[in-house]
Amino acid sequence: MIQFSDFEEKTKIVFKDKDLLKQAFIHRSYINENPSAGLSHNERLEFLGDAVLELVVTDFLYKKYPSYTEGELTSLRSALVNAVIISEVASKIEMNDFLLLSKGEAKDTGKARQYILANTFEAYVGALFLDQGYAPAEKFITTVLLPYTEEIVSKKLWRDAKSLIQEKAQEFLNVTPSYKVLHETGPDHDKHFTVGIFLGADVAAEGKGKSKQEAEQKAAEAALKIKNWLD
């Protein structure tokens, strides 16, 4: 039996409306499997939380980086609020232990779970906003998510690695990078890919991910570091 009071203890945030807290963790699949439970899934909360999250992050970045252009701020915000980072944050605060999923969804630990965790994080932000207002929601996001900003900025991860390496490869080598899947492991619901990035005939670097796109991004990031093209 999931005890949401344990999550309150972990986060040091106690909800007035316990049903709202529980709803943040209820996936649509759980409702489909338990229609008589009289519960609601978290999608409306996710819709609200997404907007709160975007405002908090936008306000923070606007103040912290006064010399950045609108385009740079938009890219940096996208890097901070993407599903990979948010699901990582959700995992760190152990949201995974409190998810209410169907039996089928509960078995899936691959990319689908990553998106469920990211959506649950946003739903929790929405629930916290409804329960206690903007300031506590802002404090929560500032505590658990915004510390990632320094790493993203220092490693220039806010710039799309695939676009950047295409630009650099054409500038320095007059070639267009290409990508090839080198290895593929795992069942259909939990695939892991290793992708090589080629600058001409040679593999410049490899990247791993739970999708081809993620592995390509990792390969591009690795190649940028190897080539010392990160400016």
Residues with a catalytic annotation lie at 50, 122
Q: Side chain identity at 139, as an amino acid letter?
A: K
Greatest CA separation for the chain: 63
Q: 55 — alpha (psi -120 to 50), left (phi > 0) or beta?
A: alpha
Q: Side chain identity at 63, as an amino acid letter?
A: K
Q: Side chain identity at 160, as an amino acid letter?
A: D
Token couple for 73: 């701020």
Burial of 69 (0-12, 13-18, 19+ CB in 10 A): exposed
The Cα–Cα gap between 229 and 223 comes to 8
Token couple for 52: 């709160």
